[in-house]
């Protein structure tokens, strides 16, 4: 069981957290039209790397806050924990962020949200 | 009649027993006497009892083989009161007055076992037998399974076990966890104790000391070794920063030094204290771990090596030294190393006759060998025991000169009789806890063992666990590594520095040579015959022949061979078998052992009772039960309850003599014709507050909420990003920036979590705050033609709100002095009011309603009647009509999907081309031809019931009831292209030969289609 440092509460057992899967999946705004296949990449495709993985975690049985973790899926070593809205700062985290195919995906390009939804 | 302790020595030297305290116990219904401090195994051996079980596959007679948790054979069942625990190792059970133990895996008794006939047909059970025989035809598995379970059953648990025994859990933190209380562990702990760090030292046995309890004929620090042990233990026990645990097995070492151990608290007592549990599970987070887990001796693999009377050499020495038990009087020693010579010496000193030491090495030299030779004990070097003979106990052996490299005898065989054989094949460090952490293992060519690579500084192996077998070196290593580890710890904690030079205790044990000669398999001149009974894994009955067969059949990876032959997969996890199996495999593949590799060890290190893993989380404590504030009324009015998530909800209220069907019919009828009231307190309730609340709701619901007037309510549908229905409920605007959201009972936590996730991750710019208030409100849902009159009467002088109270609005008022939020919303299709009051007034409100409602024929109804009422109206239930693959369009709810909004969760997914597929399953109603016939929920519909199987399925029935108001069976179903099939006939084929049910597809609404009753 991992020992995870919640940015708000400090070190806690893994059993207090839930893993929300891949981080940094930008949601395309509906008004920025993209093809079905580009949208489905956003909706369904998830990375499953051997090595450094950027994940979202939530301190479900604690403060209920979401944050990001850069974790090695082989050794389970946690390289970095950083807040929502930020990108990784460590060398390994940065590399994993840049290497992800999403950075050049159509869905991510279409993610700039228009301010309000009502027309 | 009590049996004689025929094998107990007269000398009173045993380090672990108390001769003043005899202990009486029963094994297989016979009475025995042992002494306090000893195990069931040693007490049985004291009576000359070796045979304690039958083997798993061939039902061969098996005897006590080891001394501790490595024991593969002596598994017994212990009975205490009404509880019985199987598969306990006789070598670990401490005897107590009144202990009752039984052998297992035999039928009808140990000496005569019917299934031992398997032994005669052993060629039917080669490696892969289970795979080959039972893979095909698969239908035969049903037939075989019963036989296998009967034949192979590993013990039986009693049904009352959990009622009789209490287990508990404990969480603990420490800076240094030392696993193993032998010489190295004690030395590590005594250094750590002085530094003030929090230390736990845990040992599997009932006393600390490890092998020093057996081998102690020398001084440590100028005092007898045993005194050093006792002084050290005393020092540790009195240190305030040290927790000393015996009878405690660390069975799992996991990420970030999270370790789990099982402490046997009262199992060894004949009258356990009532306040203490049977076992205690410790969950420990340690900053650093020192693994001082010691080593386990390997057996040698030769024909007949599983006969009772053949034991590990070190185990025999322990029985003599610790328990004053000499397991046999005419002993032969078979070894490839020096250690067994100490056993020979122990047997000799105990008055036993060492007939011969058979040493595989050509020309071994060391201090101990010289000592032995001086005693005149016959030593045959370059020889091997080729086979052991005997029926239920060893009676003789075949000895020959042997070429270990060629694995073949060099001379003709000579016979020698004996009643005990001590075998020693070298030592395996106990690397399990290291390996569980993915720690790598290194093959050491000199000491012939796998030892830890020591890459991590989180967990550090010392002593025999690290392949450092010599006591002097082990103590030195423990001292150094502990000193380094603690300075790291103190540095991390920014505490004062530790003294760098801890003195190493000076031990003066006899020197021996720790380099055994490789000997993985001893074969006769006809290896295909001798290998058949040369056992590698005693518990799973796998032999050298099985491994060779696996290789011939193409299994070359150790991971595959392990699974194919089941070697190392028994409950002892291959503690004594793994390395021998690797050696034999390497030999067959003509590879080195390092090239062959080793399998990974996984938790638990030893079998762990499910009871201790469950702890107190059983029965009523398994899962919390949530009750509404009105629960007691439901109970005293005879309600039957159903579980919805963790909630107990009133299901129906049978009156005397009423069946389920009659009660539900009465409740439904009363609600449609007079009035009914439902406890709806379990509905999820979320307060949505903040300046961006309206915008937020617009983004999460398919319909629009920003245009909702204050005091008005709206039904909303929530999708997930894939466009599928996720939850529904009514949301009311309380103020410009304040909404009150309701969710389904089961979905409440999931909805709150999902909305929080969106706010924290996707739309961090929105100023919205969510609070769960499910348990802050009690809710009575009042429904039916008389509901208005009842509410008016309840409101009394506050009933002016009733003058203008349209459908889908909310009013604040008081009922009998209780502040209430009243919503005019309906899930039954009748005029209805949901009355919310602060939770603690729930019962008061309910009682008042029932009292006022009496003259209006108000009836309490349960969830079943609610289901029928809503199904009559065709209202969906999320989770019943939906299953995560249903869109609002599939439900015919196009009206709720806003065309105006530019975005909401699920909008883009609904625009996918595949959503227009006409053959998607769509919600329809079904009316059966026979109005009395109710279709089972979940049943599948077909167009043609006479087609060949597998039939072409049209879809499934999601809800189905008998409607008392229509006097007709009704159902909702999701059928392919359903919306264009109105009027068609479908058939629902039934199981067990019943006629298919015929039904007509109709609109999914059966009652009051215009909704006149609802608006009143
Ligand atoms: Zn937290």
pLDDT at B128: 63
Interface of B with A in 802-841 (CB under 8 A): none
**CA nearest neighbour of B834 among B715, B688, B985, B977:** B715
pLDDT at B354: 97
Contact assessment for residue B782 and residue B790, using Cβ atoms and an 8 Å cutoff = yes
**CA nearest neighbour of B935 among B953, B962, B910:** B962
The answer, for B904 touching chain A at a CB cutoff of 8 Å, is yes
What does the pLDDT average to over B208-235?
95
Q: Chain B contacts of A43, Cβ < 8 Å?
A: 721-722, 909
8 Å CB contact of B757 and A40: no
Alpha carbon distance B884, B893 (integer Å): 16
Residues of chain B with CATH 3.30.70.1400: 684-772
Chosen for mutation from B908, B915, B916 (greatest number of chain A CBs closer than 10 Å) is: B908
What does the pLDDT average to over B392-396?
96
Which pLDDT band holds residue B390 (cuts at 50, 70, 90)? very high
Residues of chain B with CATH 3.10.20.440: 18-124
pLDDT at B490: 87
Which tokens sit at B517?
């000669």
Residues of chain B with CATH 3.50.50.60: 165-295+430-492, 299-365+374-424
Q: Chain A contacts of B909, Cβ < 8 Å?
A: 39, 43
Q: Are strands B353-359 and B330-335 parallel, antiparallel or unpaired?
A: parallel
Interface of B with A in 243-302 (CB under 8 A): 254-256, 258, 285
Q: Is the dihedral of CA B669, B674, B680, B683 positive or negative?
A: positive
Q: Which of A13-27, B109-123, B486-500 has the lowest mean pLDDT?
A: B109-123
Which residues, by Cβ under 5 Å, contact ligand 1, an ion? A 6, 8-9, 59, 62-63
8 Å CB contact of B907 and A13: no
What does the pLDDT average to over B53-77?
91
Distances (CA, A) of A24 to A55, A103, B762: 8, 9, 10
Interface of B with A in 696-715 (CB under 8 A): 698-699, 704, 706
pLDDT at B773: 98
pLDDT at B625: 95
The partner residues of A67 in beta bridges, in order of sequence, read A57, A83
Q: Is the dihedral of CA A41, A45, A48, A53 positive or negative?
A: positive
Q: Chain B contacts of A36, Cβ < 8 Å?
A: 912-914
pLDDT of A117 strictly over 60: no
Length of chain A: 119
DSSP states of B695-738: HHHHHHBSS--TTPPTTBEEEEEEE-TTS-EEEEEEEEEEETTE
pLDDT tens per residue, range A45-72: 999 999 999 999 999 999 999 999 999 9
> Which DSSP helix (H) or strand (E) runs through B417?
strand B414-417
The answer, for B857 touching chain A at a CB cutoff of 8 Å, is no
8 Å CB contact of A117 and B913: no
pLDDT tens per residue, range B520-542: 999 999 999 999 999 999 988 89
Specify the residue for token string 């009690």.
Answer: B778
Alpha carbon distance B958, B670 (integer Å): 25
In B688-841, alpha helices (H): 693-700, 748-757, 787-795
Q: Is the peptide bond before B656 cis (omega within 30 degrees of 0)?
A: no
The partner residues of B286 in beta bridges, in order of sequence, read B174
Which pLDDT band holds residue B370 (cuts at 50, 70, 90)? very high
What does the pLDDT average to over B334-352?
96
8 Å CB contact of A28 and B254: no
Q: pLDDT above 90 covers what percent of chain B?
A: 82
pLDDT of B159 strictly over 80: no
Q: Are strands B858-860 and B985-988 parallel, antiparallel or unpaired?
A: unpaired
8 Å CB contact of A66 and B760: yes
Chosen for mutation from B257, B439, B760 (greatest number of chain A CBs closer than 10 Å) is: B760
Which tokens sit at B735?
């103020």
8 Å CB contact of A117 and B904: yes
Q: Chain A contacts of B699, Cβ < 8 Å?
A: 117
Fold assignment, B518-614: Arc Repressor Mutant, subunit A (1.10.10)
CATH 3.10.20.440 fits B18-124, yes or no: yes
In A1-119, alpha helices (H): 36-44, 91-99, 106-109
The answer, for B761 touching chain A at a CB cutoff of 8 Å, is yes
Alpha carbon distance B193, B177 (integer Å): 12
CATH number of this structure's domain B165-295+430-492: 3.50.50.60
What does the pLDDT average to over B658-682?
97
pLDDT at B12: 87
8 Å CB contact of A118 and B761: no
Instruction: Indicate the CATH number of A12-25+44-104 among 3.30.2270.10, 3.40.50.2300, 3.40.50.2000, 3.20.20.70.
Output: 3.30.2270.10
Which pLDDT band holds residue B130 (cuts at 50, 70, 90)? low
Q: pLDDT above 70 covers what percent of chain B?
A: 94
Contact assessment for residue A65 and residue A6, using Cβ atoms and an 8 Å cutoff = yes
Q: What radius of gyration, in Å, describes the C-alpha atoms of chain B?
A: 38
pLDDT tens per residue, range A78-106: 999 999 999 999 999 999 999 999 999 99
Q: Is the dihedral of CA B288, B292, B293, B296 positive or negative?
A: positive
**CA nearest neighbour of B852 among B825, B815, B824:** B815
**CA nearest neighbour of B825 among B837, B817, B815, B833:** B833
Measured between CA atoms, how close is A89 to chain B, in angstroms? 19
pLDDT of A114 strictly over 70: no
- The full 3-state SS of B211-258, as one line of letters, equals HHHCCCCCEECCEEHHHHHHHHHHHHHHCCCEEEECCEEEEEEEHHHE
pLDDT at B873: 95
**CA nearest neighbour of B44 among B93, B16, B5, B94:** B5
Contact assessment for residue B360 and residue B377, using Cβ atoms and an 8 Å cutoff = no
Measured between CA atoms, how close is B256 to chain A, in angstroms? 6
Q: Are strands B199-202 and B167-179 parallel, antiparallel or unpaired?
A: parallel
Architecture of domain B299-365+374-424: 3-Layer(bba) Sandwich (3.50)
Q: Which residues contact B714 (CB under 8 A, 6 or more apart)?
A: B703, B705, B708, B730, B731, B732, B808
pLDDT tens per residue, range B306-322: 999 999 999 999 999 99
Mean residue pLDDT across chain B: 92
Specify the residue for token string 């061979």.
Answer: B561
Alpha carbon distance B762, B766 (integer Å): 9
Specify the residue for token string 């390289």.
Answer: A79
Give buried/exposed letters for B568-590 (b at 16+ CB in 10 A, else e): bbbbbbbbbbbbbbbbbbbbbee
Contact assessment for residue B838 and residue B776, using Cβ atoms and an 8 Å cutoff = yes
Number of CB atoms found within 10 A of residue B982's CB = 12
In B903-999, alpha helices (H): 907-910
Distances (CA, A) of B787 to B174, B373, B782, B808, B849: 63, 105, 6, 15, 10
Q: Which of A23-32, A70-79, B104-113, B301-310 has the lowest mean pLDDT?
A: B104-113
Helices B367-374 and B339-349 pack at an angle, to 10 degrees, of 30
pLDDT of A115 strictly over 70: no
pLDDT at B514: 81
Alpha carbon distance B273, B647 (integer Å): 37
What does the pLDDT average to over B771-789?
97
pLDDT at B499: 59
Alpha carbon distance B862, B639 (integer Å): 8
Q: Write down the number of H helices and E strands in chain A.
A: 3, 6
The answer, for B173 touching chain A at a CB cutoff of 8 Å, is no
Measured between CA atoms, how close is A31 to chain B, in angstroms? 6
Q: Which CATH class is domain B684-772?
A: alpha beta
Which pLDDT band holds residue A119 (cuts at 50, 70, 90)? very low
Q: Are strands B279-291 and B258-264 parallel, antiparallel or unpaired?
A: antiparallel
Q: Are strands B223-224 and B219-220 parallel, antiparallel or unpaired?
A: antiparallel
Structure-model confidence comparison of residues B335 and B491, the more confident one:
B335
pLDDT tens per residue, range B180-194: 999 999 999 999 999
- The full 3-state SS of B464-520, as one line of letters, equals HHHCCCCHHHHHHHHHHHHHHHHHHHHHHCCCCCCCCCCCCCCECCCCCCCCCCCCC
Q: Is the peptide bond before B604 cis (omega within 30 degrees of 0)?
A: yes
pLDDT tens per residue, range B400-411: 999 998 999 999
Q: Are strands B542-543 and B18-27 parallel, antiparallel or unpaired?
A: unpaired
3-class state of residue A114 by DSSP: coil
Which tokens sit at A116?
């309000």
What does the pLDDT average to over B718-739?
97
Q: Which residue of B has its CA nearest to A2?
A: B255
Can you identify the CATH homologous superfamily of domain B776-856? Probable tRNA modification gtpase trme; domain 1 (3.30.1360.120)
pLDDT at B349: 95
The answer, for B440 touching chain A at a CB cutoff of 8 Å, is no
DSSP states of B545-610: HHHHHHHHTT--SHHHHHHHH-TT-STTTTTTTHHHHHHHHHHHHT--HHHH--PPP-S-SS---H
């Amino acid at each position: 069981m991992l020992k995870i440092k919640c940015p708000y509460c400090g070190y806690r057992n893994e059993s207090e957290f839930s893993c929300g899967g891949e981080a940094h999946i930008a949601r395309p705004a509906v008004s920025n039209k993209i093809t079905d296949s580009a949208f489905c990449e956003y909706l369904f495709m998830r990375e499953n790397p051997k090595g450094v993985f950027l994940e979202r975690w939530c301190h479900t049985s604690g403060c209920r806050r979401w944050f990001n973790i850069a974790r090695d899926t082989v050794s389970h070593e946690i390289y970095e924990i950083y807040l929502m809205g930020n990108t990784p700062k460590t060398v390994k985290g940065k590399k994993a962020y840049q290497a992800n195919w999403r950075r050049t995906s159509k869905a991510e390009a279409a993610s700039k949200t228009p301010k309000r939804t009502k027309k | 009649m009590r049996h004689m302790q025929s094998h107990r020595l007269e000398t009173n030297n045993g380090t672990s027993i108390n001769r003043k305290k005899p202990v009486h116990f029963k094994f297989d219904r016979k009475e025995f006497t042992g002494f306090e401090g000893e195990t069931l195994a040693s007490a049985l051996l004291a009576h000359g009892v070796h045979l304690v079980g039958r083997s798993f596959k061939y039902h061969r007679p098996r005897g006590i083989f080891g001394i501790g948790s490595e024991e593969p054979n002596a598994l017994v069942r212990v009975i205490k009161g009404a509880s019985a625990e199987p598969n306990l190792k006789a070598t670990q059970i401490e005897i107590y007055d009144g202990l009752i133990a039984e052998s297992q895996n035999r039928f009808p008794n140990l000496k005569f076992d019917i299934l031992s006939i398997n032994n005669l047909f052993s060629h039917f059970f080669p490696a892969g037998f289970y795979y080959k025989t039972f893979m095909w035809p698969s239908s035969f598995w049903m037939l075989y399974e019963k036989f296998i379970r009967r034949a192979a059953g590993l013990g039986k648990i009693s049904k009352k076990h959990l009622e009789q025994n209490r287990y508990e859990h404990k969480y603990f933190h420490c800076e240094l966890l030392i696993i193993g209380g032998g010489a190295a562990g004690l030395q590590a702990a005594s250094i750590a104790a002085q530094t003030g760090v929090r230390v736990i030292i845990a040992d599997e046995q009932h006393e600390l000391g490890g092998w020093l309890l057996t081998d102690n004929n020398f001084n440590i620090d100028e005092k007898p070794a045993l005194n050093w042990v006792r002084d050290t233990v005393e020092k540790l026990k009195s240190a305030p920063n040290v927790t000393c645990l015996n009878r405690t097995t660390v069975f799992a070492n996991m990420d970030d030094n999270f370790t789990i151990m099982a402490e046997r608290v009262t199992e060894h007592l004949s009258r356990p204290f009532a306040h203490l549990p049977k076992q205690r599970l410790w969950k420990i987070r340690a900053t650093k771990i020192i693994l001082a887990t010691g080593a386990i001796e390997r057996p040698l693999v030769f024909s007949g090596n599983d006969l009772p009377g053949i034991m590990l050499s070190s185990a025999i020495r322990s029985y003599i030294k610790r328990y004053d038990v000499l397991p046999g009087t005419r002993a032969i020693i078979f070894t490839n190393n020096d250690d067994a010579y100490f056993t020979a010496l122990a047997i000799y000193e105990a008055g036993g006759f060492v007939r011969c030491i058979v040493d595989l090495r050509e020309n071994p030299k060391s201090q101990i060998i010289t000592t032995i030779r001086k005693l005149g004990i016959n030593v045959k070097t370059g020889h091997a025991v080729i086979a052991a003979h005997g029926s239920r106990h060893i009676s003789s052996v075949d000895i020959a000169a042997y070429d270990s490299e060629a694995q073949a005898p060099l001379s003709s065989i000579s016979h020698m009789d004996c009643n005990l054989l001590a075998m020693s094949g070298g030592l395996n460090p106990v690397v399990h806890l290291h390996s569980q952490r993915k720690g790598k293992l290194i093959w050491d060519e000199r000491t012939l063992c796998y030892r830890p690579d020591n890459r991590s500084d989180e967990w550090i192996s010392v002593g025999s666990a690290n392949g450092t077998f010599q006591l002097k070196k082990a103590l030195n290593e423990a001292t150094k590594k502990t000193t380094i580890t603690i300075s790291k710890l103190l540095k991390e904690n920014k505490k004062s520095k530790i003294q760098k030079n801890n003195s190493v205790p000076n031990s003066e044990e006899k020197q021996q040579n720790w380099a055994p000669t490789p000997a993985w398999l001893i074969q006769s001149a006809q290896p295909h015959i001798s290998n058949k009974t040369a056992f590698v894994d005693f518990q799973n009955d796998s032999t050298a022949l099985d491994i060779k067969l696996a290789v011939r059949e193409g299994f070359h990876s150790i991971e595959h061979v392990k699974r194919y032959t089941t070697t190392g997969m028994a409950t002892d996890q291959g503690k004594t078998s793994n390395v021998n199996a690797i050696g034999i495999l390497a030999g067959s593949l003509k590879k080195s052992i390092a090239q062959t590799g080793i399998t990974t060890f996984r938790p638990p290190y030893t079998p762990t009772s499910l009871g201790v893993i469950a702890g107190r989380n059983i029965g009523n404590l398994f899962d919390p039960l949530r009750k509404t504030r009105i629960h007691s009324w439901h109970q005293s009015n005879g309600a039957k309850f159903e579980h919805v998530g963790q909630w107990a909800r009133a299901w129906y209220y049978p009156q005397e003599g009423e069946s389920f069907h009659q009660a539900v019919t009465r409740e439904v009828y009363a609600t449609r014709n007079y009035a009914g009231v439902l406890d709806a307190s379990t509905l999820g309730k979320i307060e949505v507050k903040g300046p961006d609340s309206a915008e937020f709701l617009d983004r999460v619901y398919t319909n629009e909420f920003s245009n909702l007037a204050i005091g008005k309510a709206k039904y909303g549908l929530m999708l997930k990003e894939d466009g599928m229905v996720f939850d529904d409920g009514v949301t009311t605007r309380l103020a410009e920036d304040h909404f009150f959201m309701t969710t389904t009972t089961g979905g409440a936590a999931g909805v709150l979590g999902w909305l929080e996730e969106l706010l924290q991750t996707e739309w961090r710019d929105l100023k919205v705050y969510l609070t769960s208030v499910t348990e802050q409100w009690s809710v009575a849902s009042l429904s039916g033609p008389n509901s208005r009159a009842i509410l008016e009467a309840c409101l009394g002088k506050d009933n002016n709100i009733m003058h203008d109270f349209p459908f889908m609005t909310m009013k604040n008022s008081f009922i009998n002095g209780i502040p209430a939020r009243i919503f005019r919303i309906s899930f039954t299709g009748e005029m209805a009011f949901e009355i919310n009051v602060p939770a603690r007034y729930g019962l008061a409100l309910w009682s008042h309603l029932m009292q006022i409602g009496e003259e209006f024929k108000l009836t309490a109804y349960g969830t079943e009647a609610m289901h029928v009422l809503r199904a009559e109206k065709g209202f969906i239930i999320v989770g019943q009509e939906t299953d995560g693959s249903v869109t609002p369009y599939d439900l015919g709810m196009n009206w709720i999907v806003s065309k105006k909004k530019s975005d909401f969760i699920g909008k883009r997914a609904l625009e996918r081309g595949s959503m227009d597929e006409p053959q998607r399953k769509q919600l329809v109603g079904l009316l059966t031809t026979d109005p009395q016939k109710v279709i089972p929920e979940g049943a599948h519909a077909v167009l043609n019931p006479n087609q060949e199987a597998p039939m072409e399925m049209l879809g499934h029935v999601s809800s189905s009831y008998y409607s008392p108001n229509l006097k007709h069976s009704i159902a909702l179903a999701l059928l392919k292209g359903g919306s264009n099939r109105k009027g068609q006939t479908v058939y629902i084929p039934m199981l067990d030969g019943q006629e298919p049910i015929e039904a007509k597809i109709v609109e999914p609404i059966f009652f009051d289609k215009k909704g006149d009753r609802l608006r009143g």
